[in-house]
Structure 1
Amino acid sequence: MARKTIKRLETDLKNMEFLYKQELEENKRLRNLLEGKNVIAQSEYDLLLKDYEHMKDMRDNYKILYDNLRIRYDGLKDSTVINNQTIKNSRGAGRKAFDSSDVIKRIYELYIQGNSLKEIANTLNGSEIKTKRGGTWSKSSVRFILLNYKNVENEFIDEDTYNITVKLLNDRKKK
């Protein structure tokens, strides 16, 4: 199953609420028909009734899917903690999260300005900034930060900056 972000779940919930409002409108139209208001042909009534049932089934199925995804997300949310806390995966293993948003933003800025991975590592080491394990920076550790989508999810950087960086990394790799 595809992974979904909270923003995607919230969007899906809004879509589900929209479907629910449509269902209420259909219900209102059907009630009017039953009461003899806005009388239409039997075939149109049957078609409206079929559409109403279809929307109701679709909304019910969507609600079940959303509830299952929400339960899964809530279970993950409790075990994923930032601010240098242990992040647990499904097997219970964990690692320290690098959470210095200032350093992460600086790495992205330096790379977008045209600095190479090695130059960024040298800059960070020259500033005596340590990695999450307290070591020195290398090209691969800088690259790991640049390609880590969790920086977007944790709102250290915006998605546009991330996409620009990934495109630059791919373009520079081809040269």
Structure 2
Amino acid sequence: MTSGRFIRFITAVCTCTFGGLIAIAPAASAHAIIELNGVSAVAGKSSAMTLEIQHGCITDSPETTQVIAFVGKPWGEVKPGSVDGWKVSVAPLADGGQQITWSVVGKPIPFATPVFFPMTVKWPNSPGVYSMRVLQICTEGQYLWETPFTPATASSPSPPLTPLPQVTVLARR
């Protein structure tokens, strides 16, 4: 076998093996994701963002029934948008922040259905990295997305299984 044919053969074997591994890999846990929709978060300014829940809980009854975002005091006002099939409420937190609760109206959301929660945010006045804890409640079980990202260790994977959604707020220009 010539070296060129050997390289093509090895490439084909590796591609098939890798593709097969991806096909049989177990499903990962969902994540709560902050999406800035192409617009940077700028200190003291307001802009839109979306909180995305990728899929239901990994339990025997994985349908999502409620999503709660805990927005701490450094954040400014957060105005949640409406989502078809969900009711939304906002309550103050003891630290001066807000608790935003979306509750499904009717049937729970199936496991494989992502949900997008739009909101308008008044960003903190100082640049930096800010977090939003998110609780996803399912018909059986729940996930609290609050674990900070850290490098992997012998006893802790990276990223963590329930990562804390974060956003970088930039300085005003």
Bigger relative contact order (CA 8 A; separation at least 6): 2
Question: Structure 1 or 2: larger strand share?
Answer: 2
Question: Structure 1 or 2: larger helix share?
Answer: 1
Fold shared per TM-score above 0.5 = no
| TM-score for the superposition, normalised by structure 2 | 0.29
